[in-house]
Structure 1
Amino acid sequence: MSTDTRIEHDLLGDREIPGDAYWGIHTLRAVENFPITAQTLQSNPDLIRGLAAVKLAAARANHDLGLLDEQRRDAIVAACREIIDGKLHDQFPIDVIQGGAGTSSNMNANEVIANRALEIIGQPRGTYTRISPNDHVNLSQSTNDAYPTAVKLGTIFAIKRLLTALGELQDAFAVKASEFHDIVTMGRTQLQDAVPMTLGRAFGSYAVTIGEDRERLGEAESLVHEINLGATAIGTGLNAPAGYAEAVRDHLAQLTGLPLVTAPDLVEATQDVGSFVHLSGVLKRIAVKISKICNDLRLLSSGPRAGFNEINLPAVQSGSSIMPGKINPVIPEVVNQVAFEVIGNDVTITAAAESGQLQLNAFEPVILHSLHKSISHLESASRTLTTRCIAGITANPELTRAAVEHSIGLVTALNPTIGYQAATMIAQEALKTGRGVAELVLEHGLMTASELERLLRPERLANLTTV
């Protein structure tokens, strides 16, 4: 970094700023005040792009309404486009958790955009009489409408990637459902033998449940499209000209390609974070259900000699520093841990939402940070589960069929043919002797081998046909 500096002033006094920094005095004070997580805004590029998009749309709307001249508009728009394209993200050094309801994040964006815009028109950084972070970049705005709108944009960007990742996971389970279509296995309830089914139906159910979660996530995303831009400080629109809310929304929708709508009551919308609470609940639902699937995968692959051993998870690394040959289900385990984190994030978001007072919720930074972790980590976990685990799962059909034929639960499938009393007798004898149900049914002459084979066809056990 250059040793040159510049002096900037705020209501607390003067501070020396590195000459080559695009951020300014407000950012400097926030860096000093919030040494919390060692994670900066740079770790959330979606938020930074959201902030730049809001500022770009505002510059255009302010120009349309005669508040911003063409030169300033064009310079601000050009600076914002660079940030949207991924440049200058290293100029956002503030901690992700901060006091002030996001004011520091908003001012960080205002300062970076203003100083880059000044460069574009050939002026030195810090020449705020020409392009000001407050008077021009933040024109017709407050942190209380610009920041929540940027948060929603960044959240939507992230949700769309999660939806894609969940779609890939759903497809992977569907492929395995087809591959395991004819493999007979034992269905279980309460970890006890229930009735026969196919492994394909089991994996097909996972595809269905992921599909349902994608639908719920899409519904939750739609609620996030309602914004309060134009509300300014508390929702009354003070210091924003007539027509600004509609104009800035239209520019932002055109820029992002999103069907954004202005909230019908901006005072309510400025204090309400209900869409984030709802979204977090859906993310928790997804996490819980994927974690349950991972529990199943770990159980079905347990062993290999002293467990279920009905499926084989791909070996991706050695499992022990002391036990030679041991392989652990590390991919489902890491996904389980992401799920635990998402559940905890939901608690944080719930507490932060409840703790808002009067016309503003001051705790949106931690809401954003928690949502960002939940969405991004679920995306990564889903992709990891798809590529490093599900795609490589194989089955042990001989073992699963032998377990079915030896299981007491098999009598349930035979009950309509041999009758309840005979089925009970076979079950008791199988339990007492340890012999298989199919073997005893044949020995007692209750069915012929061909009849038994027909009843044990995969299609019938999976209830796919009436055979």
Structure 2
Amino acid sequence: MNTKPTLHFCPIGIQAEGMRLERDSMGEIEVPADKYWGAQTQRSLVHFSIGTDHMPLPLYHAYGVVKKAAALVNAANGHLPSWKADVISTVADEVSSGKLDAHFPLYVWQTGSGTQTNMNVNEVIANRAIQLLGGVIGSKTPVHPNDDVNMSQSSNDSFPTAMHVVTLLELEDRLFPQVEKLVVTLQRKAAEWQDVVKIGRTHLQDAVPLTVGQEWSGWATALEDALETLRHARQGLFALAAGGTAVGTGLNAPEGFSKAIAQKIADLTGRPFVTAPNKFAALSGVDAMVRASAGLRGLAVPLLKIANDMRWLASGPRCGLGELILPENEPGSSIMPGKVNPTQCEAMVMIATQVLGNDNTITFAASQGQLDLNVMRPVILANCLHSIRILADGCHNFRIFSVEGTTLNHDRLAQYVNGSVMLVTALSPEIGYDKAAEIAHIATEHGVSLREAALQSGYLDGSSFDRLVNPLDMVGHGVAGA
């Protein structure tokens, strides 16, 4: 059909019960009558109903962008009637906005190229387009899932294209804002407490003093550095495989299609996507995803440290370090009344641990790209998007329910500073390391204050001790914001 049919307004949904017959190259198969998917999607549900891990919905939303871009480019070069491109674009927008989420049921554990997910998208778009055009759903007329929706494409290049698009968008729209807000909160706390002296700890043992602000500024900077590394790691995602079709040669894609679709995707998303310069590398490897995952791993590491440090510093409250007072969000024990636990910190530690595990899966899967195609793409994508989602949600909750409400136990901080033997370090330049060590041993062995031990040693008098041992003078110039 080359003449333009009438476009009907039709709300999303199929008012039908039971099953309908759809056909693919392997024959007929029954499909739920109220769903837009077709034969290949149904076969995947039969053969790959493994676990409860479904393909992430954001992937389908990105796929809508890819299919719309392909339709518009195919229409512009005269290969697809403009009315078909228009209706495909209309449905692709519905896909991207999440209005057709209920029609994407496939599992992660499927063909490693993502072919069944690509066909799920093609079938849903085709059947919804047929419905809008007043046709018979499942007839493949006047819009065909392969000939029209998948025109100039292969699953082997459309799936990696959608992978890059969704990963980039999820990083920039979901994760980066939450990490940035957490960094700002840590920096604000560091500035607020830049002059509050506390005792340092190395090897989990008492060390020389620093300020609370200095300690928190270290956390903020570590997280900020990790975010900057992740920003750099995402650069490879801008290169798209579209136009490489099955093995990278571009068979069945018209000349110029690869550059045109990359530009169209860039226009639709507002991101600087470009065509991958070598389609053979784009199809056979997943190096950009590996680098993105490594960046996520790098982000998880300082988050894990920050959360664990806060757990240690808030331990107690009476029989632990007790320097930090974390917000009380919920009861901590079903048997111990009044107990409150650092649950947001624990959640962040678990999130970071999961991200490290996801990265191991991605790295190993990436190494399995034999010959001309990596066929581990669904598990790579699912793990990468899982890491992004839980890191983003975790940073939000950690900031809102823990970091922002954390306060200081000033009495405990002062107690530790005043009772620390390691303040003796300030005496070394005046009396030498060995004499200072002797004073430290006297204080420790006899349970006396450092000042009293210094006076007992006879190496210096009280006024000299008071002049040399001032904790605020010992924190240097590295205060937060300096």
TM range (shorter): over 0.9
State the match for 1:68 in structure 2: 80
Cα contact 1:141–1:232 (8 A) shared by 2: yes
Aligned length: 463
**CA displacement 1:290-323 (0-9 Å, x = unmatched):** 1112111111111122211111111111111122
Do structure 1's residue 128 and structure 2's residue 148 form an aligned pair? no
SS of 2:421 mapped into structure 1: coil
State the match for 2:25 in structure 1: 11
Aligned partner (choices 305, 320, 334) of residue 292 of structure 1: 305
Do structure 1's residue 423 and structure 2's residue 436 form an aligned pair? yes
Separation in 1, partners of 2:140, 2:188:
59
Shift of 1:447: 5.7
Separation in 1, partners of 2:140, 2:467:
85
Do structure 1's residue 21 and structure 2's residue 60 form an aligned pair? no
SS of 2:20 mapped into structure 1: strand
Query: Compared with structure 1, are the counterparts of its residues 450 and 203 closer, same or farther at alpha carbon in structure 2 (3 Å cutoff)?
Result: farther
SS of 1:378 mapped into structure 2: helix
Shift of 1:36: 1.6
State the match for 1:176 in structure 2: 189
Cα contact 1:442–1:449 (8 A) shared by 2: no
Cα contact 1:253–1:259 (8 A) shared by 2: yes
Which residue identity does 1:116 align to in structure 2? R
State the match for 1:435 in structure 2: 448
SS of 2:417 mapped into structure 1: helix
**CA displacement 1:271-297 (0-9 Å, x = unmatched):** 110111122122112112211121111
Structure 2 residues without counterparts, runs of 5 or longer:
1-14
State the match for 1:107 in structure 2: 119
Matches within 5 A, 1:379-418: 379-418=392-431
Separation in 2, partners of 1:418, 1:406:
21
Which residue identity does 2:290 align to in structure 1? V
Larger displacement relative to structure 2 (455-464 or 410-419): 455-464
Separation in 1, partners of 2:31, 2:409:
66
Cα contact 1:187–1:197 (8 A) shared by 2: yes
Separation in 1, partners of 2:381, 2:414:
49
Percent of residue pairs identical: 40
Separation in 1, partners of 2:71, 2:461:
82
SS of 1:389 mapped into structure 2: helix
Which residue identity does 1:377 align to in structure 2? I
Shift of 1:227: 1.0
Larger displacement relative to structure 2 (215-224 or 31-40): 31-40
Cα contact 1:287–1:342 (8 A) shared by 2: yes
Cα contact 1:201–1:462 (8 A) shared by 2: no
**CA displacement 1:63-85 (0-9 Å, x = unmatched):** 11110001101000111111112
Do structure 1's residue 456 and structure 2's residue 470 form an aligned pair? yes
Tell me the TM-score normalised to structure 1 length: 0.95
State the match for 2:257 in structure 1: 244
**CA displacement 1:119-168 (0-9 Å, x = unmatched):** 22222322313100000000000001101110111111111121111111
Separation in 1, partners of 2:326, 2:228:
28
Do structure 1's residue 51 and structure 2's residue 43 form an aligned pair? no
SS of 2:73 mapped into structure 1: helix
Separation in 1, partners of 2:427, 2:407:
29
Aligned partner (choices 262, 266, 269) of residue 253 of structure 1: 266
Which residue identity does 2:109 align to in structure 1? I
Separation in 2, partners of 1:301, 1:32:
51
Which residue identity does 2:149 align to in structure 1? V
Separation in 2, partners of 1:19, 1:295:
52
Shift of 1:223: 1.4
SS of 2:207 mapped into structure 1: strand
Cα contact 1:413–1:461 (8 A) shared by 2: no
Query: Compared with structure 1, are the counterparts of its residues 60 and 228 closer, same or farther at alpha carbon in structure 2 (3 Å cutoff)?
Result: same
Which residue identity does 2:67 align to in structure 1? K
Which residue identity does 1:77 align to in structure 2? S
State the match for 2:6 in structure 1: none
Do structure 1's residue 94 and structure 2's residue 75 form an aligned pair? no
State the match for 1:268 in structure 2: 281
Shift of 1:268: 1.6
State the match for 1:185 in structure 2: 198
Cα contact 1:183–1:401 (8 A) shared by 2: no
Separation in 2, partners of 1:120, 1:219:
43
Aligned partner (choices 75, 79, 82) of residue 94 of structure 2: 82
Separation in 1, partners of 2:352, 2:464:
47
Q: Aligned Cα RMSD in Å? A: 1.9
Separation in 1, partners of 2:144, 2:417:
75
**CA displacement 1:50-103 (0-9 Å, x = unmatched):** 111110000011011110001101000111111112211111011122124100
Shift of 1:408: 1.6
**CA displacement 1:253-286 (0-9 Å, x = unmatched):** 1001111121111112111101111221221121
Shift of 1:413: 2.8
State the match for 2:163 in structure 1: 151
Separation in 2, partners of 1:182, 1:146:
55
SS of 1:362 mapped into structure 2: coil
**CA displacement 1:159-193 (0-9 Å, x = unmatched):** 11211111111111112112222211111111111
Cα contact 2:214–2:478 (8 A) shared by 1: no
SS of 2:393 mapped into structure 1: helix
Separation in 2, partners of 1:337, 1:15:
43
State the match for 1:137 in structure 2: 149
Tell me the TM-score normalised to structure 2 length: 0.92
Larger displacement relative to structure 2 (120-129 or 394-403): 120-129
SS of 1:392 mapped into structure 2: coil
Which residue identity does 2:168 align to in structure 1? I
State the match for 2:7 in structure 1: none
Separation in 1, partners of 2:330, 2:466:
43
Separation in 2, partners of 1:380, 1:137:
35
